[in-house]
Structure 1
Amino acid sequence: MNEHENGAPHESTVVAPASGSGELTTPGGLPARFENPGLPPHVYRASDVDPAAGKRAERQVAALFTLSMIATVVFLVAYFAIPDDSVFFFPGIGTIKTINVVLGLSLGFSLFFIGIGAVHWAKTLMSDHEIVEERHLLRSSDVDRAQAVDVVVEGGRNAQLDRRPILKYTLGGALGLFALPFAFQVVGSLGPVTIEELKHTIWDPSENGGKPIRLMRDPEMTPIKLSDVTQGSVFHVMPETLQKYLDDGKHVLEAKAKAAVILIRLDPNLIKVKKARDWGVDGVVAYSKICTHVGCAVGLYEQQTHHLLCPCHQSTFDLTEDCAVIFGPAKRPLPQLKITVDDAGYLVAPEGFHEPVGPSFWERAR
């Protein structure tokens, strides 16, 4: 019989040996105790017994770290040397930027060779003697803390850093250089950006020689007449200037990402904000499709309530209130695009956006 901590007895889980047997068993028939099987015999590697094999493995690891350094240098040179508009055609994918491919491959190979070098080092040179540590209380004594430094030093000795300094230097070089691409990327992406740069899209008349820009159906790229837009109808719109980017095959995605517009017609008497009425034509209004929360496409229109809904996080905008936010995490209204009608009856944008489109980390005056 054994006792709980509170003194209440309970029945032992160990069953007495059957007649003629000296082995204790559990109710399930398993042995109550297991003998420690010990460790299997240690198998020595070639580098453990042959100095030539150890030297060969050392050179192989150093070569892998050196290849990592070369790949990182290729990344740094390509970052500055390859023009941003350089492209090439890749079968099955299409036209892609040269700099994206070179930066991606060089950075990938840099990390790959560091990883392979570290694995090869561990497998061939680092100590592989099996060590068993008995379980103990989850606390460290002052003596244990004092011994921590000795453990680190011993680990370096087992890794043969003192005997093979070339590994230490090439690993340090590979890891040091590998950090530089991230520093360049961070510094490059955090460069000075003005509000004017954020506001500029291909709706800007400067993209069309200073002339108003026609509104085009997306993706057909056909112009839209005022008479085409009936009550409650919704058009997904791109500027006529996008055609230039489609023909060149350069920066198309960047241009489309900022220029997407939704065009809707509602009763002019429902529009409560004077600026919104003045920037539309007979109840036809145009707003950026890019949600001011995190940039998803706002493409769902509820005709009865005149609400626009972002499907990503349910931000809701009221068209009658100049697309003010009435629900969800978005903090700013959708920017409105001013539109008019040209002599041929087509809808045109005489101006670009007056505030940046997309996620609203800026302020927008109402």
Structure 2
Amino acid sequence: MNDNTTNQLQQRPVDDPGLGVEAPSWVSTNPHAAKHAEGRVVVAFAVSALSALASVVAYFAIPLDVQIKIGSFHSSLHNVVFGTTMGLAIFLIGVGAVTWGRNLMDDDEVAQERHAPPSSEEARTDALVTLSEGIRASGVARRKVILASLGGALGLFALPLVVTLADMGPWPTGRKRAQTIERTIFAEATPQKPIRLVNDITWKPIKAADVEIGQLINAQPENLQDYHEVEYQQEKAKSSIILVRMDPASINIPASRKDWQVSGILCYSKICTHVGCPITLWEQQTHHLLCPCHQSTFDLGNSGRVVFGPAARSLPQLKIGVDTEGYLIATQDFTVPVGPSFFERDSRNDFQEGDA
């Protein structure tokens, strides 16, 4: 055995069998069969589109509290119907695609020698030619009904996926925001029925005479105790407040907020206007409140305006007073939404430096 023969055996250990003579497919020689296969593909795509629409209808029409029980199986009817119709929609897209590929596309066998990457310019050109040939072989150009049905199936299958975005929460309309994130339970207060401010540890009402100059108190509205579990946590996240007392002669109180304080006792939201961290780092001498998360700093001696850091809005201030027994009370809600900013928020009422 010479060297050439050895090299050939190493490169090709067996003889190249080549490509045998391929018999034409049944569909290619039988127009009736091709038409029948095309009909099956269109039906699969059409039923897929109807299933996708059914899933959307089920999503909105079936209440979440309706249950289905079959033997040991127990689940929400809403989830069962929505999941079944969604699964059927994507399954039928697959059935239609497989039927199309196996029965209607050309099935010529092609052999190609392996080559080392990267591909040459000639190979890239050949790839584009092959792609064009594949598109031609798929029959897209002449089977417009299949293409239209596939487009409809895929398009409608995307619809229930978009609909499920509703599970991320209610649409933030102005009315919904006013009822939720732009409102706290201080809104339940009225001049005739004020809400007392209580210590957030002991839940005891706070008497104005007991608050010392320089002191900071973490507080809550007394009616927070009327809420429980999830609602309690939601309302606490918005209604948490801090009370500070400063010498009235050492702070700047705008004329529009003269009656918002009680002998130098001021009340502010405890929630940072940057990303919503709770704030309690109090600098008595400078009257500054520092957020521990990103170092936003608010001047509580000047209506809570931002003096440093990434926060873009002043800390919301709550108007407070005292009742006949000398306890601190609130008679209205914050005039601006508390917490971090959001796109739909109206900032026209935010306090700015220089406001009266």
Normalising by structure 1, what TM-score? 0.59
- Shift in Å at residue 347 of structure 1? 1.3
CA contact (8 A) 2:44 2:93 kept: no
Matched residues, percent identical?
A: 31
The 1:288–1:120 alpha-carbon spacing in structure 2 relative to 1, beyond 3 Å, is farther
Match of 1:324 in 2: 305
The 1:72–1:351 alpha-carbon spacing in structure 2 relative to 1, beyond 3 Å, is same
Q: Which runs of 5+ in 1 are unaligned?
A: 1-18, 24-32, 42-47, 87-100
Match of 1:273 in 2: 253
The answer to whether structure 1 residue 345 and structure 2 residue 326 are counterparts is yes
The answer to whether structure 1 residue 224 and structure 2 residue 206 are counterparts is yes
Give the letter for the 1:211 counterpart: K
**Deviations 1:227-270 (CA, angstroms, capped at 9, x unpaired):** 55344443332222323333xx6744443333221222333333
The answer to whether structure 1 residue 202 and structure 2 residue 182 are counterparts is no
Work out the CA distance in 2 between the residues paired with 1:148 and 1:187: 44
* SS of residue matched to 1:286: strand
Work out the CA distance in 2 between the residues paired with 1:253 and 1:138: 66
CA contact (8 A) 1:69 1:178 kept: no
Work out the CA distance in 1 between the residues paired with 2:79 and 2:241: 32
Which of 162, 174, 180 is equivalent to 2:157? 174
CA contact (8 A) 1:161 1:167 kept: no
- Shift in Å at residue 324 of structure 1? 0.8
- Shift in Å at residue 336 of structure 1? 0.7
Work out the CA distance in 2 between the residues paired with 1:219 and 1:105: 46
* SS of residue matched to 1:355: coil
CA contact (8 A) 1:337 1:353 kept: yes
Of Structure 1 and Structure 2, the greater helix share is in 2
Match of 2:244 in 1: 264
Give the letter for the 2:157 counterpart: A
Work out the CA distance in 1 between the residues paired with 2:135 and 2:95: 21
- Shift in Å at residue 278 of structure 1? 4.1
Q: Return the structure number with greater relative CO, CA threshold 8 A, min gap 6.
A: 2
The answer to whether structure 1 residue 212 and structure 2 residue 208 are counterparts is no
Which of 225, 228, 235 is equivalent to 1:255? 235
Matched pairs, number: 306
Give the letter for the 1:259 counterpart: S
Match of 2:265 in 1: 284
* SS of residue matched to 1:351: coil
- Shift in Å at residue 335 of structure 1? 1.3
Question: Over aligned residue pairs, what C-alpha RMSD do you find?
Answer: 5.5
- Equivalent residues in 2 for 1:1-366 (5 A)? 68-77=52-61, 126=101, 135-137=119-121, 151-152=134-135, 154=137, 170-182=153-165, 189-193=171-175, 200-204=183-187, 206-207=188-189, 210-218=192-200, 221-246=203-228, 251-275=231-255, 278-294=259-275, 296-304=276-284, 305-360=286-341, 361=345, 362-363=347-348, 364-365=350-351, 366=355
**Deviations 1:27-71 (CA, angstroms, capped at 9, x unpaired):** xxxxxx988999xx9xxxxxx9xx9xxx99999998887665443
Give the letter for the 2:223 counterpart: T
CA contact (8 A) 1:69 1:177 kept: yes
**Deviations 1:107-126 (CA, angstroms, capped at 9, x unpaired):** 77776666666667778875
Q: Which runs of 5+ in 2 are unaligned?
A: 20-25, 27-33, 66-75
Give the letter for the 1:315 counterpart: S
CA contact (8 A) 1:298 1:309 kept: no
Work out the CA distance in 2 between the residues paired with 1:277 and 1:138: 82
CA contact (8 A) 1:195 1:356 kept: no
Work out the CA distance in 1 between the residues paired with 2:199 and 2:84: 44
* SS of residue matched to 1:189: coil
Give the letter for the 2:280 counterpart: L
The 1:168–1:242 alpha-carbon spacing in structure 2 relative to 1, beyond 3 Å, is same
Normalising by structure 2, what TM-score? 0.60
CA contact (8 A) 2:281 2:292 kept: no
Work out the CA distance in 2 between the residues paired with 1:138 and 1:237: 76
Work out the CA distance in 1 between the residues paired with 2:152 and 2:339: 47
The 1:341–1:116 alpha-carbon spacing in structure 2 relative to 1, beyond 3 Å, is farther
The 1:330–1:179 alpha-carbon spacing in structure 2 relative to 1, beyond 3 Å, is same
* SS of residue matched to 2:60: helix
- Shift in Å at residue 272 of structure 1? 2.1
CA contact (8 A) 1:277 1:283 kept: no
- Shift in Å at residue 318 of structure 1? 1.2
